[in-house]
Chains A and B, each alone.
Chain A
């Protein structure tokens, strides 16, 4: 069922060609981004705030449809299809490309209903299947042991770190191809942060992961590949080791060594 884009020997999850985007208020934008994102690896998008990372992520699952986008050009090929095509089934697409946000936003439902939400919306009614999926997703996000006796409680009764893991579990329950995380630890304490980072290492066995990390240190810790975004432009992209140790562009090295941002 999965049709990988084969480009040489490397499996590509996304091929992005000349992507440009402008919001109505001209605030943040993307300029001519071309990039190939590898399957089953962690790709890190880093750079100063307002550089277009969030916008870029929200193009990949077409969540930007909710925002006031004035103009969008270019191509994003995912599973052989240009998902920017108006005919794309965006609902199907979003089930394949899950997203975790910077602040934990549990839906105002129970823990169980939060995790089952995507499946229920997809029309899954079989209680056993749902139970199974919820348990598995909570186990994958290391939360099962902490919450299995209180699944009917409100998700808001959990701590911030637990809430963020519910948000991850909620994405995993849909068994997506890609998991995107937009500064997922920015609202968390160091322990909860390292929990999440640890999890990422396991998750990449199964999923393609794209993450806009909280800071450069986190980027260095988790990256297989890294892309440096500055003011809507992709400055540099390559394997994490090269980008962080031998950056080719001066702006990249300036940023990594903390000269701005």
Chain B
């Protein structure tokens, strides 16, 4: 009798525990959805053709946010130009070339640390190296380079992971048929890992597109009446613009604030969605 009552008590404990876990998880998830929904509801009314295609006017209190949108697109592309080739090749190195050695361990520690360095410290580094030392000035170039290095660990790690998920038997077979290492990587391993790599690249760039601190002193500017003309121009950017209009400008209409936030959110979560779709599509198509 005692064992069954003990057993029943344990079962009840378990039920209560699970309910607790469910509540905790819901409390984590619901605010996220609420947040996104709230921004959509509050921001959607502000979005119009003019909002998306006109520069700000009357001290940002009217008009649109075109220069900030274009600036963020430029910065994202600039970041991709530097970080994608470098990150993907470094990922290939780690997955396909590196042997277990002290050097490889050092590389891995370096990547982990790059991933952990605070974004504002990247801003300082970009200021010290690109803006001051290399004299690129406060520019799209400096900001893109800074963001690239910040994005690198994400791209390297996801590339490595994607490559490692390709079965080793493909490499063995390809090698046995007289393919060189690079041929094997290029013809077999890389194409199979590509969806995973693209997903990782997009997630990395998504981060970069939403960052403010690294571009504060390397490329972002308060206001620009015209679009940037060269990579050596400074630029407006959506994240920095949100910071400006929510803290620096008194009497800022709330609708423009929410509208701007919504545009950035669509930009960033849109990239996230694309990455997720690519990943699940590739999983469904995979033959091995």
Contacts and interface: CB of A to CB of B under 8 A. Distances in A.
A and B touch in the complex (CB under 8 A): yes
Contact of B287 (A91, A92, A99, A156): A156
Given A101-B169, A107-B173, A167-B173, 10 more contacts: A66-B175, A94-B178, A95-B177, A98-B177, A101-B173, A105-B170, A105-B172, A108-B192, A121-B179, A170-B177
Contacts of B191: 108
A171 interface: yes
Interface footprint category on A: 20 to 34
Interface in A89-144: 91-92, 94-95, 98-99, 101, 103, 105, 107-109, 117-118, 121-122
Contacts of A167: 173
15 contacts: A63-B175, A66-B172, A91-B178, A94-B178, A101-B173, A105-B173, A108-B192, A108-B287, A108-B288, A109-B188, A117-B177, A121-B177, A121-B178, A121-B179, A171-B177
B61 interface: no
Contact of A103 (B169, B170, B187): B169
Interface of B: 167, 169-180, 183, 187-188, 191-192, 287-288
A174 interface: yes
Contacts of B287: 108, 154, 156
A61 interface: yes
Interface string A144-184: 00000000001010000000000100110010000000000
The 8 closest A-B pairs by CB, nearest first: A95-B178, A118-B177, A156-B287, A121-B179, A94-B178, A105-B169, A99-B176, A105-B173
Contacts of B178: 91-92, 94-95, 118, 121-122, 174
A182 to B, nearest CB: 10
The main secondary structure of chain B at its interface with chain A is helix
A174 B172 CA distance: 17
A156 B192 CA distance: 14
B281 to A, nearest CB: 16
Contacts of A63: 172, 175-176
A98 B176 contact: yes
Given A101-B169, A105-B170, A94 B176 contact: yes
Contact of B170 (A91, A107, A170): A107
A156 B288 contact: yes
A101 B173 CA distance: 8
Interface string A72-97: 00000000000000000001101100
B183 A108 contact: no
Nearest to B288: A108
Contacts of A107: 170, 173-174, 188
Contacts of A109: 188
A91 B180 contact: yes
A109 B177 CA distance: 14
Nearest to B192: A108
Interface string A43-75: 000000000000000000101001000000000
